[in-house]
Amino acid sequence: IPEEFFQFLYPKTGVTGPYVLGTGFILYCLSKEIYVVTAETISAVSTIGLLIYAIKKYGASVGEFADKLNEQQIAQLEEVKQASIKGIQDAIDLEKSQQALVQKRHYLFDVQRNNIAMALEVAYRERLHKVHKEVKNRLDYHISVQNMMRRKEQEHMVQWIEKHV
């Protein structure tokens, strides 16, 4: 209770004003039977006394123990938090790499388009080579037929001349 509440008692009672007020209030409650003393009162007084003694004797060590437990829990929560942050950061990095792959996708399509164009060009050149080869074979055949005809004509002419001369 703040000291300012008892400043008005100092002129009448002096320094003992708060104690007189507290004791007077307790005696008034007991004499007017506002508060009746029973077995529970004695039990409450002894329990309050025991609690005050326990707090004064063991309060510091219990406080240190509670602080230590609190620090351990905070450390565990911090570890969980850091693990969660690391997991989320890994997910962000993975997403960025996936986005980079998606952005490079058009290069892949260009490469595939070029590969298909090159395959079509190879097929065209193979067919062109086959046509060239077939045309050359036909021309060679016609040349060989003409050469054979010329040779046969010459042989026939030579034989006719030899026969008639």
Residues 24-78: tens digit of each pLDDT = 999 999 888 888 888 898 899 999 999 999 999 999 999 999 999 999 999 999 9
The alpha carbon of 106 is separated from its chain's Cα centroid by a whole number of angstroms, namely 27
The mean pLDDT value for 82-93 works out to 97
Q: What is the pLDDT of residue 56?
A: 94
The mean pLDDT value for 103-109 works out to 85
The mean pLDDT value for 110-123 works out to 95
Q: Show the tokens assigned to 60.
A: 């510091």
Q: What is the pLDDT of residue 101?
A: 84
Per-residue confidence band for 1, with pLDDT thresholds at 50, 70 and 90: low
Task: Match 């703040």 to its residue by tokens.
Answer: 2
Give the CA distances from residue 93 to residues 90, 97, 108, in Å, rounded to whole numbers and listed in that order.
5, 6, 22
Quickly list H helices, the chain. Answer: 10-13, 17-31, 39-103, 105-164
Per-residue confidence band for 120, with pLDDT thresholds at 50, 70 and 90: very high
Phi then psi dihedrals of residue 56, to 5 deg = -70, -40
pLDDT at 6 > cutoff 80: no
Q: What is the pLDDT of residue 104?
A: 85
